[in-house]
Amino acid sequence: MLRSNFTPDHMSEFVQYLVKKYQNDGERLPSLAELSQELGLGVATLREQLEVARALGFVEVKPRVGIRPLPYSFSPAVHQSLTYALMLDPKYFQSFSDVRNTIEAAYWRQAVSRLGPEDHQALQELVDRAMDKLHSPQVQIPHREHRELHLSIYKRLENPFVLGLLEAYWDMYEAFGLAIYNDYAYLEKVWHYHKDMVDAICRGDIPAGYQALVDHMNLLSERSLHPSRQKFE
């Protein structure tokens, strides 16, 4: 990977070291004691910088494994900030939901045009699995299929910022309580639109799929949301 010479003044010594020294994800870093000597930092200061890097998803820290850099993902940073925002005011979720809707609509054509036959089949299987849950004697909410279907449509985009925002949306969707919504008529509508979206993708009808996506997004405004601050505390 080509590395930039761009180094902002506010970047910690540990993150600068991580960018400059480690080209391969998963390569084990030296111990804290060794890093402390190499960087000329106290262990306490280094531990603080390491924790920030871990929270942002730059590294993982495991017992008996040590410190390893991770592939870049925008999701952890968004997740941290969004969680804080929702703790301040749950109404921020609607604002972020609007951002997510705009992103999915804007990238629809680019995303679905990159999907191949195997992706189409996987999407059809998700719809079938969700329908089986909805029509079983004991109705189950196909939340996992809902999340996976939307993320699968956009997974071929080579844009970690789009994917990070979408992943963070679904994390907060669960925290916000939307994953346990149990209005059967609403769920039927949702998966009717999902089926229309996937059918259109599979036959290469991008405009029809886009319209089904937009109609599906409009359903969210029909739901009465009364989130409690307790959900984020």
Q: Are 129 and 43 in contact (CB under 8 A)?
A: no
Give the separation between CA 75 and CA 83, rounded to whole angstroms.
12
For residue 45, give the 3-state DSSP assignment: helix
How far CA 210 is from CA of 198, 205, 214, in Å, comes to 10, 9, 6
Q: What confidence tens digit (pLDDT) does each residue in 53-85 have? A: 999 999 999 888 889 999 999 999 999 999 999
- For each of the domains in the chain, give its residue range(s) and CATH number, in order of start: 13-69 (1.10.10.10), 75-232 (1.20.120.530)
The pLDDT value recorded for residue 227 is: 46
Decide: helix, strand or coil at residue 227. coil
Most confident of 1-15, 101-115, 169-183: 101-115
Token pair 């509508």 is at which residue? 189
How many whole angstroms separate alpha carbon 212 and alpha carbon 218? 10
**Alpha-carbon span 44 to 50, nearest angstrom:** 10
3-state secondary structure of 3: coil
pLDDT of residue 182: 60
Which one, of 231, 220, 224, 226, lies nearest residue 88 by Cα?
231
**95-123 pLDDT per residue, tens:** 999 999 999 999 999 999 999 999 999 99
**Where residue 208 falls among pLDDT bands split at 50, 70, 90?**
very high
Across residues 122-127, what is the average pLDDT?
A: 97
Residues 139 and 188: their CA atoms lie apart, in Å, by 11
Mean pLDDT estimate for the chain: 87
